[in-house]
Structures are given as structure tokens and as C-alpha cells.
Chain A
Amino acid sequence: MLANQNSKKPSDHFELLYKTLLDSIPSSVLMIDDKLNVISVNQNYLVKSRRSKENTINCPLSDVFPSVILENTGFDNHIRSVLRIRKAIRGQKMTYRGPGVPIRIYYYSILPVVPGQVMLIMEDVTEQTNLSEDVRRVERHLASVVESASDIVLSIDMNGRILTWNSAAADLSGLSSDEVQSQLFHEYCEPGKKTIIEESLLYISGLRRANDSYTIEFCLLTPTNNNNTGILISWVFSPMKDIDGATIGAVIVGRDLAERRKLELQLRQSQKLGALGIMAGGIAHEIRNPLAVCSSAAQFLLSDGVDLEFRKQCSMKIQTNINKASTIIENLMAFAGSSMDGNMTDIVLSEALEGTIALVANQAKVQKIKIELMQSPEIILVSGVVGLLQQVFMNILLNAFKAMPSGGSVSVTIECLSDSVEVQFIDTGIGIPVGDIDKIFDPFHTSSPTGQGTGLGLSICYRIIQQHLGSIRAESSPGKGASIIINLPLLLI
């Protein structure tokens, strides 16, 4: 390794081999003597530092390394101590900037090789350092995404113990991440959810892909809140997998449903107002008719010489027509004021349908549409919110009206199946285009010209029927009308 000019010695061969070896390794290797002069250097160092062999070998260390480095790292002192006590120093970090080269980061070791000489090995770890810096940056970024999410993001292990708990979870529950750490998740959920969480874990551990998930709704308890009823959350369980693909827990994202419920309610309310708007024309017609009769009859009574018989007739007409007008208003009030968020009650299906039909009857008359309700002999009960079901029926009927611009008919049939009841609305309108039949329940799908339909009616129907544990579908052949079929679970008495 040391310069030796005698080429005839058998060690020549090995010396050359070592030199080649040293020059080819990607680390810098320098030999330094006890006067802190560089006595040997490999190719890698010369390339990295952009120095020539001539101005490096036999030069003092302070000439070879920038003085800044020597001062900052205490590098020369380290070398002196290794020379003195002959104990290696390993894995020190040094930032090195050669003239005109970008900053590099090195790990260096100082090894006592022979007495009076040390070997300095410098390994370039710039790339690795940058890489781990990047990893840390991504980690920080992900953590801040999870932390700043407005949804609850938490993770649990396979035993259901909480691993992480983001600030949205802390805000909603009132419990900090430290408080819940390693606690069982079900203890913070409404009672009786232990099994459901276990089953969810079992279910998702069977899922093949990490982006498959399992959705469920239940309450998160809010112990800090006085009325500890909890907040209804929609939870999405996804498997958390280790590097070998084994499920080691679950990532659970939870969304506060209160906000969504509120929006849904507003949407239904405005949709209902829209339906009332459509019916306003028909209602005006139907109220002004009895008003006109009453007005004329009252004027007859005012004239002179009215005989008793006619007087009686006039009073009767006034009374009947006032009743007619007030029935129309009552139906309207019942619909407009119907609870949109009430509790499920037992509903006689035919009565709910009759009420709705009575309400749209005026509009049907104006559009020359006949509505036929085929009653079934038995009383059919379903569980539901009357106002919501009537909104569904009304939407379907008004849609049917729209499909029959020059009149037609809608027949409504009720048919009992084994454990459910099917309500069919069959119209004689223009029908639904073949490609649209799958889309009509999508929000904002509309066949109406811009500004004349929001395209939300049927999507609201879909959601309402879904909440009643039923289903809704459409059948149609273009030009031959359409059928909307609602299936609701039968309430057995």
C-alpha cells in the first residue's frame, strides 16, 4: 500500500491488486501519518474533492481538507487521538463541500492501521440522507393530512385496541389521543357494538385488497357532553396490512352524519316546495271554482224576492263548496306540514296513497290525466314516515304527469307478496329512453329542459325508500309509458 518503487518483489502483484481495489471502491480512503500529512489517497477521494494526486499526497491535512471542516468536525483532533490511543473511531458524520462541488454528506471512520499511521475511510451517504429526509417529509405530510381531516380517522389492532386517533376524533368525542391510546374502541361506541366491531374486523381481514371496505352506522359516545347520547357516525372499515399482506388491524374513517342529515332534510324540504309549486296551478283552479259558486249563491241571496226553496238551495251550495275548498287546503297543509324527520309509525298504505292522489288530482284534471287506484281488499300496513312516503308517491305521480303532456292515465296498483308489498305506478307517457333507465335515480339526472327540473326528485325517492328498507326500480319501453315499482317490507299484524 505504501509507495514502493521496487517492482521486482513478489508483493508487487498484490500491491497493484490492492491499489486497483482501493481505487474502485465507492468510498474515499486516505492514509495519514502522525504529522497529519496525507501519505496515500485513492481515486474516489481525488474525484470527489476534485484534487490532483500531486497536490494531495505528502501535503498536510490542513491543505487537503478545507479548514472550515477541520474546525467544525474536530477531525484533526480525532486523528491525533486514534494515533495516540490506537482505538478506531467509527460512524462520524461530516458535511463536505469541495471547491465548486455541491454539498455531500459523509460517514467517516478513522482506523489505526500501523503505528504512526491511520486510515481515514469516508463513505458518501448524501443520497441515503436525502432519501430518509424525504421519507420523513412524506410521513409528516401524511400525519398532517390525517390530523387536519374533518372526518374521524383512527386505527385499531386486531384486538380492537386503538392505535391512532386523529384530532377530529378528539374534537367530536372530547377525548384526547393520549386518553384513548391502547383502549378498546368499542368502549367509546354506543352499547352493544363490541360484536359488530369484531365482526367488521373479521370481515375486512378477509378482504383481498386494501381499498375494499365495510361501511356501518352507529353512535360515537361523547362522555364529556352532558347528554351522553352520542353522535351518529357513518364508519368505513378498511384493512390495515403489513408488508406481507397480512391484516394487522383496521383503518376506520368516520363521518358525522348530523350534517348530512341536515342537508338531506333541507333538500327534501325544498323539493317538497318545488312539488307544491307545480301543483299550485291546479290548486288555484280547484279553489276558485267553489269560490265562484259561493260568490254567486251569496249574491242570489242578496237579491229581492228570493223564495224559500231557492234560498235553501243557495245555502246548501255555499256549504258544499266551502267544504270542497277546505278539503283541498287541508290536503295541502297535511303535505306541506308533514314531518320530514319524524319517527316511523304504522301506516295504512292505501290511505297514504289516497291522500297523495287527492292532492295531485287537481293538477291531473288540468292536464287531462286520469288516476286510477286499484285497491286490494285487505288492509296493508307498512312502517314508515307518512310525510316521506307521500313525498315519494307525489314525486312519481308528478314525474308521470310530466311524461304525458297531452293527457293520459296513471294506474296505481298495490300487490302483496310474501313478506313485502309492491306498489306500481304505470303511466301511458313517453317512457324512459333505454340508456337512461339505470340513471333515473342518480342525482341531477334530468330529462327536463334546463331550469325546469333539478333532477333530484327520483334520487330523493330512492334515498327515502332505502331508509324504509325497501327498493325502487323503473321499467319502461320507450313510447309505451313507464312503470315505477316500489317494494316495501310488509308490516305483519
Chain B
Amino acid sequence: MKNRILIIDDEEDMCWAISHILKSQGQSIVTASSGEEACRKLSEGCYSLVFLDAKMPDMDGLDVARFANKLGNDKPQIIMISGYHYANDPIICNAIEEGLITGFLSKPFTNEEILLHYHVHRNAM
């Protein structure tokens, strides 16, 4: 079950959109609508790829990423998706440099951009 994808966003419609984009790839997709739910699901199961919202009411996306990175061998690749930050935002650049996240997408995005990140991830595997 290593190929599962976790989509984390407090906006249900965002989870709906990203799920639908990736559905065609025949992947098993799980969604979480809060930071707390995301952490629980991350520690319970294995995910190879995570699409993570940067700002949620209960947790910062980067804190969720830190949590995921402490999971040892089961460390997933994390693509951060944010309407708050821009791609050249120092916070994002630092997070990528530190290896906390592997990629970044700003909202709104095209469906192709999501798929591109997915394929890059697939090829790296």
C-alpha cells in the first residue's frame, strides 16, 4: 500500500478537486481536512505522496510536514499547495532547501501542474 496519496486541505472542495485530478491515475487516495487528522492518518498508514495545504485553522502545513518527516523510513514526498505563499517565498525556498517539502504549487493551479508533480514523483520512485 506504499503508493497511496494523502491530500490535506481544510477546504473540502480543494480535496475534491485534487482527488479528481489524480483519480484517472488509478491511485488510492485518502483526504484529511485538518492538521490533526492528517497527522493521525500519516502515523497510521503509509503514503508515498502528500499534497499539503499551507494554512489550516488548527495547524501550519509546515508543522504537518515536520511531523511527517519524523516518521523515519516511511517519510513521504510532500508537495505544498498554498494560496498564501508565492513560489519564491523565502519560507517555501527554505523548506525545500531543508528537505522538509519536495515541491510547491500556488493556488490556483492547472490540473496539469498537479499531474506533473505526480509524474515527477512516480519517476523518482
Contacts and interface: CB of A to CB of B under 8 A. Distances in A.
Contacts of B17: 292-293, 296-297, 317
A320 interface: yes
Contact of A284 (B20, B56, B83, B109): B83
Contacts, number: 65
A300 interface: yes
B12 to A, nearest CB: 9
B55 interface: yes
B59 A288 contact: no
Interface string A280-320: 01001111111111111101100000000000000001001
Question: Which of A286, A296, A297 has the most chain B CB atoms inside 10 A of its CB?
Answer: A296
Given A321-B13, A368-B58, A368-B59, A292 B109 contact: yes
B20 A296 contact: yes
Given A300-B20, A368-B60, A293 B84 contact: no
B103 to A, nearest CB: 16
Given A284-B84, A297-B17, A366-B84, A292 B108 contact: yes
A360 to B, nearest CB: 14
B55 A366 contact: yes
Nearest to B114: A296
B3 interface: no
A285 B111 contact: no
Interface residues of A, number: 24
Contact of A293 (B14, B55, B58, B59): B14
A33 B81 CA distance: 120
B13 A295 contact: no
Contacts of B18: 296
B57 A368 contact: yes
Contacts of B21: 296
Contacts of A365: 55-57
Interface string B98-119: 0000000011111100000000
Nearest to B35: A368
A285 B55 contact: yes
Nearest to B83: A288
Contacts of B14: 289, 292-293
Given A366-B84, A368-B59, A295 B109 contact: yes
A432 B67 CA distance: 34
Contacts of B81: 292
A292 B105 CA distance: 11
A292 B107 contact: yes
Interface string A246-258: 0000000000000
Top 8 closest pairs, chain A to chain B, by CB: A288-B83, A296-B17, A292-B108, A292-B107, A295-B108, A288-B107, A285-B84, A291-B108
Given A317-B13, A368-B59, 7 more contacts: A285-B82, A289-B14, A292-B107, A297-B17, A365-B57, A366-B84, A368-B58
8 contacts: A288-B106, A289-B14, A289-B107, A292-B17, A296-B17, A296-B18, A299-B110, A368-B59
Interface of A: 281, 284-297, 299-300, 317, 320-321, 365-366, 368, 370
